[in-house]
Amino acid sequence: MRNLGLTCPQDDNNCIAALRMGYVKAGTLESLFKASPFNFLGIVRHDRNFGGPSALAVCPIVCLDLPQFSAPPLTEVWTSRLPVTYHQTEGIHCAMTDEVLFGALQLEERPGIRLDILTYRAYRRLLLEIRALGYPHLLRVWNYFPHINRDADGLERYRHFCVGRHQALAEDCLDFPRTLPAGTAIGTRSGPLSIHFLAARQPGMHVENPRQVSAYKYPHVYGPRSPSFARATLRPSTSGSHLLIAATASVVGHASAHIGKPHTQTLETLHNLNVLITHTEQIHGIGRGQWDGEAVFKVYIRHPEHFERVRDILKERLPSHVQILYLQGEMCRRELLVEIEGILGLEMTHVANQTKSPAHERILQRSC
C-alpha cells in the first residue's frame, strides 16, 4: 500500500464546521477560547493536570497521562459553530449542539471495587445520562485506565474492563451488538478510569472490517466477554458527515500479526485502515473524492524507542495535510506495539445506502 489515497483539503475547508476535532498548540488554547467561548464542546489534554485557563472548565476537559512524542505539545479540541450548551451531573460533564453530545466522566479506582464493577457503573451512568438528555445513540467511546495489562484476581485488567462494559451495553442497547460504538481502550501511566464519548440524536451507521473478525465476536481465548466496539461509525449529517474510526491495530482475523515487529505492525495497521475506509465507501456509496480533507489521526505507541520508525512510515504514507498526534500508551494485548485511530470528514450532505462506488476498482489497486 502506498498511501490511504485521501484527497487534499478543499479551499472552503477553513469555515468552522458544525462539528470539528483538531489539534492545536497547547499555548494557543486560551486565545482560541477567548475568541469563541461558546463554541467549545470539549478538550482532551495529554498530561495529568490541566494547566489551562479556568474559564475553560465550562466545557468537558479530559486529562490523560499519556506522554506525547510531538513537540510543542498539542491539545485536542472539539468545536462547533452551532451554539453549545453544557450540563454537569453525577460526575458526567456534557456539551451539546443540536446534533451531538460530547461527554466525559472519570471514576477513581478504590480498593475492593473491581474494575469490571467500576466500568459497569460508569457505562450505566453515561447511558442513562445520554438518554435523559435526548442523545441516545452512542457513536464513539474512548476508554483509558492505568495498568491495562496487569493481572488482578487472576484476570488481566483489560479483560475485567471488557466484562463490565459488555454487561452495561448488552443490558442497555437495543439490537446489541450491531449498534455498538466505535471504540478505543488504552492503558495510561496513572489516573482514574477516564471515559469520553460522542453521542447523537440520530443513530450512526456502524462499519466492520472484512479483514478482521468483529471484536464483539472474538473467541473466549481473549477473555470471558468480547470487547464491545465497532470498527467505525459513520455519522450522517446535513452539515458534514464523519467517519469515526476505532483504534486499529495489527490484528488480522482475530489474531495479532507480526509479533515483536513494530515496522510490519504499522504497515498491517495501515492496511486495515485502508480496507476499512474502502469498505465504508463501497457499502455507503461514497466516492474517494468525497472525503473533504478533514483527516485527524491519533497514534498510540507502546515503546518510545519505536516512535521515529512509526512516524517515518506514516510520513511517507499519509497525505501531508493529515493531522497526527503521537502518544505513548499501552495496547490491550501485550504483543501489540502500535494502534491508530482517526476521524475523516465527508463533504456530502447525506449518506446514501447500499450503493457501489464507481471508484471501487481504482482504490483497491492502491492497497497493499
Among residues 200, 246, 296, 322, the one that binds ligand 3EB under rule CB under 6 A: 246
Q: How many residues bind ligand 3EB (CB under 6 A)?
A: 12
**Set of cell numbers at residue 355:** 450503493
The answer to whether the CB of 247 falls within 8 A of the CB of 340 is: yes
Tell me: cis bond preceding 177? Omega within 30 of 0 counts.
yes
Q: Round to whole Å and give the CA distance between 196 and 142.
A: 5
CA–CA distance, 310 with 326 (Å, rounded to integer): 9
The three-point CA angle 262-231-292 to 5° equals 95
| Contacts to ligand 3EB from residues 329-348, by CB under 6 A | 332
Q: How far is the CB of 61 from ligand 3EB (least distance, A)?
A: 22
DSSP state of 176: T
Which range touches ligand 3EB (CB under 6 A), out of 64-72, 105-113, 177-185, 348-356? 177-185
Cell of 44: 482532551
* Of the residues 64, 163, 249, 363, which one makes contact with ligand 3EB according to CB under 6 A: 249
Residue 330 among the catalytic residues: no
**How far, in Å, are 155, 213, 254 from residue 169 at the CA level?**
21, 19, 22
| Spatial separation of the C-alpha atoms in residues 2 and 367, rounded to whole Å | 7
Single out the segment in contact with ligand 3EB by CB under 6 A; choices: 72-80, 107-115, 179-187, 351-359: 179-187
Stretch that binds ligand 3EB, among 244-252, 262-270, 295-303, 317-325 (CB under 6 A): 244-252
139 touches ligand 3EB by CB under 6 A? no
Say whether residue 148 binds ligand 3EB (CB under 6 A): no
Q: Which helix (H) or strand (E) holds 47?
A: none
Closest separation in Å from C-beta 230 to ligand 3EB? 9
Binding ligand 3EB (rule: CB under 6 A), the pick from 62, 251, 301, 325 is: 251
Catalytic residue IDs: 339
- Positions in the binding site for ligand 3EB (CB under 6 A): 143, 183-185, 215, 227, 229, 246-247, 249, 251, 332
